[in-house]
Structure 1
Amino acid sequence: MPQSLFWTRTDTAGAEHVVLDSRQGLAARGVALAVDPIPYTCRYQLTVGQDWSATRLEAEAEGAGWSRSVRLERTGNGWRVRTGEQGDLDATLRAAGHAPAGLPGTDDPGRLADALDLDLGGSPLFNTLPVRRLGLSRAPADQARRVTVAWVLVPSLAVVPAEQVYTSLGPGRVRFASDTFTADLDVDPDGFVVRYPGLAERVDPR
């Protein structure tokens, strides 16, 4: 993997490190960790085609007394979703005063059929997928594109469809919106997030 990116979380204590190769689509291996809503580590492997449509994600989340995994693979007519679980994440969440997370994955993969992109909760890397696929980092200002993503919640690894809107704001700036949430992202010439207000900032080698 010829490239390495590192972000620190600005919304909570945490960080993400990923090694990747973006010369022909994207192949990436990353690890993210945070203390909210409970301390967890999430490791993932991501594969994206040359057209920057996502094709595969394997993610594993782990904390005290529990671990979960999910694998998403694109098929001819949607996504295949497989999961695994050990321990009791819901019990850990309840003990910390949080609502239970439910099961990992999805009981209806057909709901994800329209998703060309994946989004791993709390990870600034995954914003790059629609940015690159749609060419937004270099697009003229005020071009808005609506996308459907398979959103993988962390740490539960539940998978839900989500509608998101990406709007180019001129070179190096992209507005991200989902429901009532909006953030103006700073991205580098390759579409990777440099600053995600309220979530993360990239730390580059000096």
Structure 2
Amino acid sequence: MLTWRAHDLPRMESVRIQLSGNRIKANGRIVSAATPQTPAFGASYDLVTDESGATKRLSLSVTLAERERQLSIARDEENMWLVQDHTGQTSRAAFDGALDVDVVFSPFFNALPIRRTGLHRRKDSVTLPVVYVWLPDLTVEPVTIGYARTASGIKLQSPVAQTTITVDDEGFPIDYPGLATRI
């Protein structure tokens, strides 16, 4: 079980992680009070990766005061992504060849590409396409995120941050400046 608390906002994430080699099975929840940018919401997720650590499927459920919505994302054998939104509409897209999913407000999802590429164990840099999910509206889009291992941590360049995060020996974030710290 890993838990993060936002640095300066009323938000937390907690996730139960089961590891089998590079394979990850995770069940987590993000809870956020209202902020000037977002309404209060709760988001729960279930994630499964393959043997290489690449995302196979992600199910998300977001609850707001006025509604609840679900989103399902799965990668098929051809590395195409099937996205089913809250209306039941399904779309199929390559998302620029992405193998990972990232969810805004979540330190946990940064561990997926870090662990899959081994950046927590070696100095290197990678720029990767990811399937990016915005909360609480469950918008999905392709983005590119850059990761570079340095002496002080892993430099991260994403749609919402340019910072250096620290990770533990397993590649899971300890501190993500501007977002959250593990407690």
* TM-score normalised per structure 1: 0.81
- How far apart in 2 are the matches of 1:113 and 1:57? 18
Q: Could you tell me how far apart the structure 2 residues matched to 1:181 and 1:21 are?
A: 28
Matched pairs, number = 178
Q: Equivalent of 2:25, from 14, 27, 33?
A: 27
- Aligned residue in 2 for 1:39: 40
Q: Tell me the SS of whatever aligns to 2:147.
A: strand
CA distance in 1, matches of 2:129, 2:122: 20
- Partner amino acid for 1:29? N
Contact 2:81 2:94 in 1 (8 A): no
**Contact 2:15–2:26 (8 Å) recurs in 1:** yes
CA–CA distance in 2 between the matches of 1:41 and 1:158? 16
Deviation of 1:111 (Å):
4.8
Structure 2: which 5+ runs fail to align?
A: none
1:156 maps to 137
Q: Which amino acid counterpart does residue 59 of structure 2 have in structure 1?
A: E
Partner of 1:190: 170
For residues 179 and 18 of structure 1, do their structure 2 counterparts lie closer, same or farther at Cα, with a shift above 3 Å needed?
closer
**What are the equivalent positions in structure 2 for 1:119-134 lying under 5 Å apart?**
119-134=102-117
What residue number does 2:119 align with? 136
Q: 1:56 to 1:14 in 2, by over 3 A?
A: same
The answer to whether the 8 Å contact 1:166/1:175 transfers is: yes
Q: Contact between 1:53 and 1:116, CA under 8 Å: does it hold in 2?
A: yes
Tell me, yes or no, if the aligned pair for 1:79 and 1:113 is still in contact at 8 Å: no
> SS of the residue aligned with 1:136?
coil
Q: State the partner residue of 1:83.
A: 85
* TM-superposed deviation, 1:109: 3.5
TM-align CA RMSD: 1.9
CA contact (8 A) 1:116 1:149 kept: yes
Q: How far is the alpha carbon of 1:144 from its aligned partner? A: 1.5
Identity of aligned residues (%): 28
Residue 76 of structure 1, CA deviation: 2.5
TM-score, with length taken from structure 2: 0.91
1:33-61 CA deviation, whole Å, 9 max, x = no partner?
11231000000000111211111000000
Greater strand fraction, Structure 1 or Structure 2: 2
Measure how far apart 1:10 and its partner are.
1.4
Gaps (5+ residues) in structure 1? 86-103
Specify which structure has the higher proportion of helix.
Answer: 1
